[in-house]
């Protein structure tokens, strides 16, 4: 299997480097390119475990796509090309997980790549759609002409962030668990393991709010999924599954507010916008 993985990754490394050699060089691109060079050497040696090779490839993908993502942000997501570029980036960010499944369908990606790398992949996909939608919602004419696409981007983005939050199980507090810091214990029991987990809750709630306010509560259109995940995906059937923007957004924002005003009180987290959106969720439904 090592030879099989090495052969596939050698091809992927070449494709990734060729595709991104035209990008303006920066720290992340240089780091990703160096990781790919190291990976090619390890593939040629044929001694490393397949999981090590796949994890290195994933890290290179994260670095190189981050360079492209920063370029998109700097250009303020150009109206004429941003959606296609976002789709391409999500496709590349989905490659490591797809590759694990293709090479060994019996293995869950989390057992090969690890929860931390998978969280990064899903965070990046969800946050990318969040940023794109944040810009697109201000383009009134585009929004009117592309409301179904906008709703699909919101739907997929929230699914990615919810999946990101699902890879690690919340800490079960019982007599066998001893944590001196009760605030930390409370956060871990809510499945909040980092600032990024907290941001994912806020971003999810905000996208649901945009969906409800700009797209209404009607049935979701059936569109081609951006960066679709196969139906065998662990813990999530598909991004094509329509969300209840109101209930999902309310749940995410309530968790965010509870954490910020509970264990994280006084740590600089702002809940004003989240509480305003929660108020709108409640009053628009009554």
Domain total of the chain: 2
Q: Count each helix (H run) and each strand (E run) in the chain, helices first.
A: 12, 0
* pLDDT for res 118: 95
Q: Residue 141 — very low, low, confident or very high, per pLDDT cuts 50/70/90?
A: very high
The pLDDT mean for the chain works out to: 84
Residue 87 and residue 196 in one domain: no
Residue 126 and residue 207 in one domain: yes
Residue 171 and residue 268 in one domain: yes
Range of 45's domain?
A: 1-113
**Residue 167 DSSP code:** S
Is pLDDT larger for residue 50 or for residue 238? Answer: 50
Residue 64 and residue 204 in one domain: no
Of 94, 113, 132, the one marking the end of a domain is: 113
Residue 35 and residue 166 in one domain: no
Is pLDDT larger for residue 97 or for residue 228? Answer: 97
Residue 83 and residue 143 in one domain: no
List of residues 6+ apart from 13 with CB closer than 8 A: 36, 39, 40, 43, 57, 60
Res 220 pLDDT > 50 = no
* pLDDT for res 213: 92
Taking residue 141's Cβ as centre, other Cβ atoms within 10 Å add up to: 8
pLDDT tens track for 221-232: 444 444 443 333
Residue 159 and residue 241 in one domain: yes
Handedness of CA 142, 147, 149, 150 (dihedral sign): positive
Reported pTM = 0.86
Closest CA to 252 of 183, 191, 193: 191
Of 96, 113, 130, the one marking the end of a domain is: 113
Residue 105 and residue 123 in one domain: no
């Amino acid at each position: 299997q090592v030879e099989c993985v090495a052969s596939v990754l050698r091809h992927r490394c070449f494709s990734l480097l060729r595709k991104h050699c035209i990008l303006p060089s920066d720290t992340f691109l240089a780091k990703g390119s160096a990781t790919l060079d190291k990976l090619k050497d390890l593939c040629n040696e044929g001694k490393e475990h397949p999981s090590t090779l796949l994890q290195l490839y994933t890290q290179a993908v994260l670095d190189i796509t981050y360079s492209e993502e920063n370029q998109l942000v700097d250009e303020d997501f150009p109206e004429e090309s941003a959606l296609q570029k976002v789709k391409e980036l999500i496709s590349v960010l989905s490659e490591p997980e797809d590759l694990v499944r293709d090479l060994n369908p019996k293995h869950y990606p989390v057992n090969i790549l690890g929860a931390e790398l998978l969280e990064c992949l899903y965070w990046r996909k969800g946050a990318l759609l969040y940023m794109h939608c944040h810009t697109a919602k201000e383009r009134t004419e585009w929004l009117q002409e592309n409301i179904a696409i906008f709703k699909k981007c919101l739907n997929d983005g929230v699914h990615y962030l919810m999946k990101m939050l699902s890879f690690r199980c919340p800490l079960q507090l019982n007599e066998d668990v001893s944590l001196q810091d009760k605030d930390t214990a409370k956060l871990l029991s809510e499945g909040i393991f980092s600032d990024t987990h907290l941001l994912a809750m806020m971003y999810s709630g905000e996208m649901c709010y945009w969906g409800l306010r700009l797209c209404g509560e009607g049935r979701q259109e059936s569109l081609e999924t951006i960066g679709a995940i196969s139906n065998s995906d662990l813990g999530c059937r598909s991004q094509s599954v329509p969300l209840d923007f109101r209930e999902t957004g309310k749940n995410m924002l309530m968790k965010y507010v509870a954490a910020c005003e509970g264990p994280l009180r006084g740590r600089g987290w702002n809940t004003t916008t989240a509480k305003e959106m929660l108020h709108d969720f409640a009053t628009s439904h009554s």
